[in-house]
Amino acid sequence: MREYYDDRIVALSARLVTPFIQLFALYVVFHGHYSPGGGFQGGAMLAASFLLIRLSIGTEAAQMQFRRSWGTPGSSIGTLVYLGTGLIVVFLGVNFLDYAGLPLGLPEPELRNTGILLVELGVAVAVAATLTAIYDDLVGERPATHHAGLEDEATPTEEADQVAGPDEAGGAPDA
């Protein structure tokens, strides 16, 4: 199976489109209070932008955008943000997930508004990281052969080693 289509036009257009997808994903997350949208939808769009880069220039080069090792911690952090928002108010003496007890010093309706935003942010982070992590797990790790349209002068094997380097945490001492 070929992991990505090695083409300069595909790589450049994916890189051109990705920031706009991410901007719109953030809009969907933050505008979920006023229009259809929210954490799940925005997180899925964010994951789509990560996967677009992975599909167009390959997983190894996409490590510069969203590292493979960020997937599982990201989904944990997102879920913990949600759970933490619910648990903080328990320690301050109100019910679980009752945002009126958040220690922010705002009137109660605005506290609930802020609580909804925090929760949606947690959901967005969790969904984006989890979907990217599932893709990475499905593709698996394999040595990269070459990159499309990034740095043309570097020899392919050397650069692949550099990109995969920080992920390996004391791997082969070949230097």
Partner 1 sequence: MRRLVLLVLITAAGLLLYGIAELPDRAAPDAPPNTEESAAGTPNAANYYVENAYEDTETPNMVTATLADYRGYDTLGETTVIFAAGIACLLILRRSRE
Where along the sequence are the contacts to partner 1 (CB under 8 A)? 32-36, 38-40, 71-72, 75-76, 78-79, 82-83, 86, 96-97, 99, 109-110, 112-113, 115-116, 119-120, 122-123, 126-127, 129-130, 133-134, 137-138, 140-141
Region of 98 on the Ramachandran plot (φ > 0 left; ψ -120 to 50 alpha; else beta):
beta
Indicate the helix (H) or strand (E) that contains 43: helix 39-57
Min dist CB 121 to partner 1, Å, is 11
- Between 24 and 135, name the residue whose CB sits nearer to partner 1: 135
Min dist CB 16 to partner 1, Å, is 29
Q: Using alpha carbons, list the distances in angstroms from residue 11 to 14, 85, 148.
A: 5, 40, 7
Min dist CB 11 to partner 1, Å, is 27
118 near 110, Cβ under 8 Å? no
